[in-house]
Amino acid sequence: MRILKGGIAFFDSGIGGMTVLAECQKRCKGEIFYYYGDNKHAPYGNLPPAKIRRYVEKAFRKFRRLKVKAVVVACNTVTALCVDELRKKYPFPIIGAEPALYTAAKRGGEIFALVTRATYKSERFQRLLAETARRYPAAKVSAYPCDLLAGMIESHITDPEFCYERYFPSGEPNGVVLGCTHYIYIKEAIAAFYQCATYDGNAGIAKQLCATLQKQTNANKRSGKKSKKGQKRVEKGAFFGIFFLGSGKKGNKRLYKQMFVL
Ligand code: DGL
């Protein structure tokens, strides 16, 4: 299969990042997308950081070969662990996924932030927690590393009967931050369990991506370069404008169709 170069890449350990891709695809028309899911090694949340970095590097080397326009790290865990290192190393713009703590905390009250163990332990997330407490003292944010939840979603996503409740921390929060892109698949179940609003960063990521692409288009125009967007492009091998890559490409393609296309 010939993979067209110059698209926008999305990366996640597994299925989670497709929730982000779906949101971005709605907003960025006429683009080529890559979805790289490393499902074979998912979930990442309880793996040692060195191992996660190794898997991420493999994907990013592929993105470099594909001459991507931008990468969306559609994974809170990888963002928390190494987005700054990646930005230093690679020449393309990299957009990360951060737990939507500010949006939730603005409203005050008790907020639960559900994250993976690796995110919880990261310096980046701990800094975000401290900054949220400083900015929004009327909110009380409690962070919970949910060790099994992402893995359960990864393996039971197509089973509508599966009950995730036993993996939710108990309490009565006023808002829940979905700090892992896998959790977005079950946001209705989470909202129903706690009887409160949930918050995720997907709309923010899509907005950021559009702004990044617009900036590139403007810069290309100024320098007289032709922008690839809008050109008639052969999409052989792409499914709905997406090339699926990585160890989970077949399953992810199927799931994307089931969840986001039909
Ligand atoms: N979807 C990911 C995140 O946003 C990764 C979950 C995992 O692999 O543990 O954190």
Last residue of a domain, one of 169, 199, 229: 199
Report the predicted TM-score, pTM, of the whole model to 2 decimal places: 0.95
Q: Residue 1 falls within a domain, yes or no? A: no
Distance in angstroms (rounded) separating the CA atoms of residues 21 and 249: 14
The per-residue pLDDT for range 30-85, each reduced to its tens digit, is 899 999 999 999 999 999 999 999 999 999 999 999 999 999 999 999 999 999 99
Distance in angstroms (rounded) separating the CA atoms of residues 238 and 236: 5
Q: What is the mean pLDDT of the chain?
A: 94
Q: Residue 227 falls within a domain, yes or no? A: yes
The per-residue pLDDT for range 140-199, each reduced to its tens digit, is 999 999 999 999 999 999 999 999 999 999 999 999 999 999 999 999 999 999 999 999
User: Which domain CATH number covers 36?
Assistant: 3.40.50.1860
252 lines ligand 1 (CB under 6 A): no
Contacts of 234 (CB under 8 A, 6+ apart): 4
128 with 211, same domain: the answer is no
Domain enclosing residue 93, as ranges: 8-97+202-261
136 with 173, same domain: the answer is yes
Q: Give the residue, out of 36, 47, 75, 95, with the most ligand 1 atoms within 8 A of its beta carbon, to mutate for a pocket test.
A: 75
167 with 113, same domain: the answer is yes
CA of 91 to the centre of ligand 1 (A): 24
